[in-house]
Amino acid sequence: MNAIEAEKLTKEFQIYQSRKGLTGAFRDLFNRNYRSIRAVNEVNISIPKGEMVGYIGENGAGKSTTIKMLTGILQPSSGELKVNGFDPHNQREEFVKTIGVVFGQRSQLWWDIAVQESFTLLQKVYRVDNKKLLDRMIDVLNIGELLDQPVRKLSLGQRMRCELVASLIHQPSLLFLDEPTIGLDVLVKENIRQFLREMNQEFGTTILLTTHDLTDIEALCSRVIMLDKGNIIYDGGLTQLKQEWGEGKKIHLELDQEVSLEHLGKVTETLPVSWTKNEANAKLFTAQLQGNSITASEVLSLLVTSGVPIHEMQIQEVSTEEIVRKIYQEG
């Protein structure tokens, strides 16, 4: 059984369109215009147990709406949806016992109550009593000192670590993370990622991660689902994504003496490489390799054999960020 199984999942919203001006507002009183918007359009998602999947998309692409349907907050307009074997909205109270949710921009904890008390209360809500797991999570995320402080006094990084513990207190098999590392410093981010990896490996927790920070996805997920205007535009491995959309590597060169761009172009004319020159420093050049058919060493060996005086060099991999930007721009 898959953790998430969605078929033609759709959510439509009726948007009330107001007319312009005061007369328009007056007309709205009697006759309203409604327009329906498909936030999520016949999306198929299938995620096996134990997988860590990144779910990305621009603002307004329908990510949050999807997550809200998957977590049972919203009822889908149409389509089939089974999460952990449940119909999330209609079997909500039973279903939510099997999932954990962290909304980065909203607290899951009680504002006025000490962290420890929040945990105790959650244990009661979920009817669990697993001190060992709790102690361990507290230890790994290093929040032992925060336990007696009220949540409102915590910093963002401290709070987020507490949120994670809170979301996993009942040991759910499926964890939804919506922007869990937003606004956090590098150390806390690393700490959280390490923790998630541990949880995934040890308990086989399935994780669906929504984020704008692609380094999160690179660090955790092997699979990416990309959403645009309510449609899935990519679903597959992270490496394939790079291969399909990546522009190829870049080689930055610093030469011992000035060489003309034409000369470099001539040397590598058998390979699909384009050269650019640094405006400020005439000895710096960049070679853009087209596609993934050639390797950096092919280019370099050509350069060396034709006597181009290389002083220093650096090979730049394609970043996921660049790829995603490109995909968004090209639609």
Which residues contact another protein by CB under 8 A? 13, 64-65, 68, 71-75, 89, 92-94, 96-97, 99, 101, 103, 105-108, 110, 112-113, 117, 120-121, 124-127, 178
Q: Which residue, 126 or 245, is less far from another protein as judged by CB? A: 126
Q: Which residue, 125 or 282, is less far from another protein as judged by CB? A: 125
Q: How far is residue 209 CA from its own chain's centroid? A: 5
Least separation in angstroms between residue 104's CB and another protein is: 10
What CA–CA distance (Å, rounded) separates 301 from 71?
54
- 154: which residues sit within 8 A by CB, 6+ positions away? 115, 146, 162
Least separation in angstroms between residue 116's CB and another protein is: 11
H helix or E strand, kind and range, residue 239: helix 238-245
What is the helix, strand, coil percentage profile of the chain, to 5?
Answer: 40, 30, 35
Least separation in angstroms between residue 109's CB and another protein is: 9
Tokens at residue 17, please? 């369109």
Classified as helix, coil or strand, 133 is helix
Least separation in angstroms between residue 110's CB and another protein is: 7
Residue 70, burial from CB neighbour count under 10 angstroms (0-12, 13-18, 19+): buried
CA distances from 313 to 52, 73, 251, 278, 293 (A): 36, 53, 7, 14, 21
Q: Which residue, 82 or 197, is less far from another protein as judged by CB? A: 82
Least separation in angstroms between residue 303's CB and another protein is: 50
Least separation in angstroms between residue 201's CB and another protein is: 25
Q: Which residue, 38 or 89, is less far from another protein as judged by CB? A: 89
Query: Which residue, 228, 232, 184, is CA-closest to 326?
Result: 228
Q: Which residue, 158 or 167, is less far from another protein as judged by CB? A: 167
Q: Which residue, 166 or 219, is less far from another protein as judged by CB? A: 166
What CA–CA distance (Å, rounded) separates 140 from 202?
14
